[in-house]
Chain A
Amino acid sequence: MKLVDSYEFLERLRDLIYSLLELRDRAAEEGLEIVPLRRETPLVRYGVVSTLKGGVIMDVTSEEQAGIAEDAGAVGVMVLDKLPYDVRAAGGVARTADLNVVLRVMESVGIPVSAKCRIGHAEEARLLESVGVDLIDESEVLTPVDEKNHIDKWSFRVPFVNGARSLPEALRRVYEGASMMRTKGEAGTGNVAEAVKHMKLVNRDIATLRGYLLSGDYEAVWYYSKENRVPYELALLTARLGRLPVVNFAAGGIATPADAALMMWLGSDGVFVGSGVFKSQDPESRARAIVLATSLYDDPETVVEAQRMVSERAAMVGIDVRTLKPEQLMQVRGE
C-alpha cells in the first residue's frame, strides 16, 4: 500500500463525513449551508505537506529570524509571539502570534509560513487562514481554550498540523482533519527525550497493528480501535500502510543536529525546531547544520560535519523534564 492511497482514502473519508452532516442538516430542515471545500481539496493539503518531507520548520518571532531560517535552507517557518522556552518562562496565557508580525514575515520570505493557534480556538485559526498562512499548528504550546475538543479541521482550506504522544491520539487528529502530525515532545526544554519517547510509542503501536493484520487477526484491530477510541478504518489503514497515514514530523526539544538525525532514524519525515535555534548562541550555523543533518541523517560524514558546525557551549541550556511539575507539562494538553 502506498502513501498516496492514504491521501485518497482520507479525502473520501472527508466526503463521507460531510455527506453524513448534510443528511443530518436536511433532516433537521435547518437549511444550514455546508462549508464549500471544492477549491482547496484535501489532496492539495496532503500534497503541500508532502513536499515538506526531509525538511526543517523553524520557530521564529520576527522577520530577521525568518530570514536566517530561509537562508539556512528551512522548508518553512512557524511564527510565534514567544519561543516555547520563553512561553514556559513567562507563564500566563499564551495566544496566537501578532497578525502584523505574521504578515510581515509572509512578505519577507518565500518559504511557507505557519503559525500556531490555541487548541480548540477556531477563531484564531480562521484569522490565520484569512491572512493566508500556509499551515496552522493547533498547538499545546499555547494555552488551550477547549479541554474537550479540538478544531474541526475538515472545515478549513488551510492544512493543519497537530501534536500527538501516541498513535491513538494521532489518529484522532487525522480523523478531525489534520493534514500532518508531529510528536509533542516537551516543547521549550531543549530536551529531546520526550520526543523520542512519543515517536517510539507511535512506532510500536504501528508495528503491533501491522502484526495483527499480517496474522489475519482483524478482530484484534477492531479491539484496538475500540480500546483506544480510534476509528476502525484508520487503525486498519495504518496497519496496511505500516506508517502514519499522513506526513509526520518530530517536534519538542530538538536542539542539535544529532537530535534531528536521531528523530529521522526513528522514522520522522522531517523536523520542527522550536527554541533550539534561536535560543542558542550560534543560530545561523546551527540552523544550517540542523537542515543538513535532517535531510542526510543516514550519511555519517554529513552528520559529523553538521555536528561540527555547532558548539555544545553555544547550545540552549536544556531542562530536565523530570524537574518539571505536572502542571508545567505542555504535552498533556488536548488528548
Chain B
Amino acid sequence: MVRVGVLSLQGSFLEHVEMLREVGAEAVAVRRAADLGGLDGLVVPGGEPTALASLVRARGLEDSIRELVGSGVPTMGTGAGSVLLAKRVVGAGRAERAVLGLMDVAIVGSALGRRASSFVAELDLEGVGRVRAAFLRSPAIAEAWGSARVLAYADYPGLGRLGAAALQGSLLALTFHPELTRERRVYGFFLSMVKR
C-alpha cells in the first residue's frame, strides 16, 4: 500500500485523508518535518494561502518539503496548495509570494475577487477526462514554462480562460479542490504517479 502524507496545518486536509483512504492509499497527517519520512507521495491541501505560508515558514518546513520533492516523491497541491508550489505568484497581496517555489508556473492568487472566485464547473483534465471541479476562492494558472504543462483550463469569471491544472515531472498543481467533489479519478491519477 502506498503511503501518502497530507500536510495538515490548515485547510481541507480531513477530506483529502478521507479520499486517499477511499482509493486505497495509506494517508498520514504531516505536521512536522519528522512526519515527512517514509512517504511515497505528498498532498498539499488548499486553505488560506497566507495562513498556510506563515505556518510552513514558522515550522521551517520549506526545506524539508523541497528536499522530499527533490528526491522525486510525487506531490500534489490543490487550491491554495498550488500557490505554495508555484515559482511565481502574480497579482499578489502583501503576504502572497512564492513559498516553496518548485514549479515553473505563474499563479494568480486571490485576484479574482471574493465570492466570485467560488464556483463548481466541469472541465476536461488531460489524462483523467471530464471532472467536476470545485473552485473555492481559487487561484488560476496564468503561465507555464520550461517542462511544466497545463493539463486543464477553466473559464474564470472576470478573468477568462486560464489554467486549472499543471504537471511538471512529479509535481501536480490543481487550482481546484478534488477532495470536495469526490473526484476519485483525480486521486487515481495522482496515485499512478506515486506508483510509477
Chain A residues within 8 Å of B, Cβ to Cβ: 2-4, 7, 39-41, 43-44, 46-48, 50-56, 70-76, 106, 109-113, 132-134, 157-158, 288, 291-292, 295-296, 298-299, 302
Contact = CB atoms under 8 A, between A and B. Distances in A.
Contacts of B10: 53-55, 75, 295
B136 A51 contact: yes
B24 interface: no
Nearest to B45: A51
A260 to B, nearest CB: 13
Q: Which 5 A-B pairs have the closest CB atoms?
A: A73-B54, A110-B93, A54-B10, A75-B48, A2-B18
Contact of B48 (A39, A76, A133, A302): A76
Contacts of B137: 48, 51, 112, 134
B48 A299 contact: no
A4 B115 CA distance: 21
A74 B58 contact: no
A158 B134 contact: no
Contacts of A288: 54, 58
A161 to B, nearest CB: 15
B55 A51 contact: no
Interface of B: 8-15, 18-19, 22, 31-32, 46-51, 53-55, 58-59, 79-80, 93-96, 109-110, 113-115, 118-120, 134, 136-137, 177, 179-182
A51 B80 CA distance: 9
Contacts of A158: 115
Contact of B47 (A4, A52, A71, A110): A52
The residue among A55, A56, A112, A288 with the most chain B CB atoms within 10 A of its own CB is: A55
A323 B22 CA distance: 51
A53 B14 contact: yes
Contacts of A41: 120
B180 A50 contact: yes
Contacts of B22: 2
Contacts, number: 136
A296 B29 CA distance: 12
7 contacts: A46-B180, A51-B137, A73-B58, A106-B114, A134-B114, A288-B58, A296-B31
Contact of A111 (B8, B32, B50, B113): B50
A40 B82 CA distance: 23
The residue among B22, B59, B113 with the most chain A CB atoms within 10 A of its own CB is: B59
A51 B54 contact: no
A22 B14 CA distance: 36
B9 A295 contact: yes
A296 B33 CA distance: 13
A70 B9 contact: no
Contacts of A39: 119
A52 B115 contact: no
Contacts of A296: 9, 31-32, 55, 59
B51 A291 contact: yes
Contacts of A47: 12, 118, 134, 136, 177, 180
A71 B53 CA distance: 11
Nearest to B119: A44
B20 to A, nearest CB: 11
B134 A54 contact: no
A113 B12 CA distance: 19
Contact of B32 (A52, A72, A299): A299
A50 B12 CA distance: 5
Contacts of B181: 43
Contacts of B120: 41, 43-44
The residue among B49, B109, B114 with the most chain A CB atoms within 10 A of its own CB is: B114
Nearest to B48: A75
The residue among B9, B10, B14 with the most chain A CB atoms within 10 A of its own CB is: B10
Contacts of A111: 48, 50-51
Contacts of B95: 70-71, 110
A2 B51 CA distance: 25
A3 B51 contact: no
B134 A43 contact: yes
Nearest to A296: B31
A292 B93 CA distance: 22
Given A4-B180, A43-B180, A296-B59, A51 B9 contact: no
A229 to B, nearest CB: 29
Contact of A54 (B11, B79, B114, B182): B11
Contact of A75 (B47, B94, B114, B180): B47
B54 to A, nearest CB: 3
B51 A7 contact: no
Contacts of B96: 110
Given A4-B180, A111-B51, A51 B59 contact: no
